[in-house]
Chains A and B, each alone.
Chain A
Amino acid sequence: MFDRLPLPSQLDRTIMAGGTIAGLVAAPVLIVLLGLQITGTISAAEMVFYMAAGVVLGGALGAVLIKNIVHASLSLIATLLGVAALYLLLLTEFIALVQVLVYGGGVIILLLFALMMTNAQDDPIVQDGSQKPFAFGVAVLIGGVFVTALLDAQWGDPTAAVIPFVDFGARIFRDFSVPVIIVAVLLDIALTGAFVNARRAEAHDEEARS
């Protein structure tokens, strides 16, 4: 069945290999989580959280570590969809839907387009900068400081509450109407800017050719 898919053979093989590795890694984790859930150590919601967190962190690590630029962006898709699952676990369905629409539908397509229009086809392998060890040290430092500070703080025992769509819509257009207008203007300017940028580039190319 797979040889009939209209994919380039290399991408096809990569997806198969990546899926197999992900499945091999995820299967034992899933079994352990299920065992913990059945024995009552963690709740069902926590089990789903750990699964989504694994997808998010694994995808993010892939996106910053993988050398092949196309594979890194495919890995980013896993992160963004996992983040949508986390929003669902936080009981904010609206933000989860927006995340899937804007990131899964818009940002990823834009990124893949830009990759294909730059050097992804001839030279998909990128070399990272020489400041890698420094970057690693700073990232570990930041992560360590944040995590120790967060675990040290007293949060009490707060519980999440569902926010209905209707309330959210009413609040955002009544109490936050000025920020909404500002964001609308910002999007307008960004669109116009992108358009003008692309058009000038074309005119420039024609000038250079003539």
Chain B
Amino acid sequence: MIPIENFLVLSALLFAIGFYGVLARRSAILILMSVEIMLAGVAINFIAFASYLDHDAFSGLVFALFVITVAAAEVGLALGVVLRLFRERRTANVDEANSLKW
């Protein structure tokens, strides 16, 4: 049997890697990919707790399922926005999308 700590440490590392990507990248699509990595880490954490500590209630599994669903919807919308930005500005770089910056 795999100890639960293995999954928890792995998900923490995955979250940290994704966080680094969100802060360091400048292309909007790569930032989205880093967010996906962070979400995967969180979902692993939810499912590890659900399957090890919470055998009767299904809250962790349902949470993970909804995280996946909402992430899919978010990717669809955000990529639409990125395409729109690229059409108007010829760039997908978030530093150059500064019309709302005061």
A binding-site residues for B, Cβ under 8 Å? 43, 45-46, 49, 53, 56-57, 60-61, 63-64, 69, 72-73, 76, 79-80, 83, 86-87, 89-92, 94-95, 98-99, 102-103, 106-107, 110-111, 113-115, 117-119, 126-129, 131-132, 134-136, 138-140, 142-143, 146-147, 150-151, 155, 157-161, 163, 167-168, 171-172, 175-176, 179, 183, 186-187, 190-191, 193-194, 197-198, 201, 205
Interface size class of B (residues with CB under 8 A): 35 or more
**For the complex, what is the distance from the CA of A187 to the CA of B74, rounded to whole Å?**
9
Describe B's contact surface by its main secondary structure.
helix
**For the complex, what is the distance from the CA of A57 to the CA of B53, rounded to whole Å?**
25
- CB distance B75 to A90 under 8 Å? no
- CB distance B77 to A91 under 8 Å? no
- CB distance A129 to B95 under 8 Å? yes
- CB distance B61 to A163 under 8 Å? yes
Q: Pick the contact of A90 from B3, B34, B40, B48 — CB < 8 Å? A: B48
Q: Pick the contact of B19 from A99, A142, A205 — CB < 8 Å? A: A142
- CB distance A98 to B68 under 8 Å? yes
How many A-B pairs with Cβ below 8 Å?
228
**For the complex, what is the distance from the CA of A176 to the CA of B48, rounded to whole Å?**
20
**A77: min CB distance to chain B, Å:** 10
Chain B stretch 4-51: residues in CB contact (< 8 A) with chain A: 4-10, 12-21, 23-27, 29-30, 32-34, 36-37, 40, 43-44, 47-48, 50-51
B binding-site residues for A, Cβ under 8 Å? 1-10, 12-21, 23-27, 29-30, 32-34, 36-37, 40, 43-44, 47-48, 50-53, 55, 58, 61-62, 64-66, 68-77, 79-84, 86-87, 91-92, 95
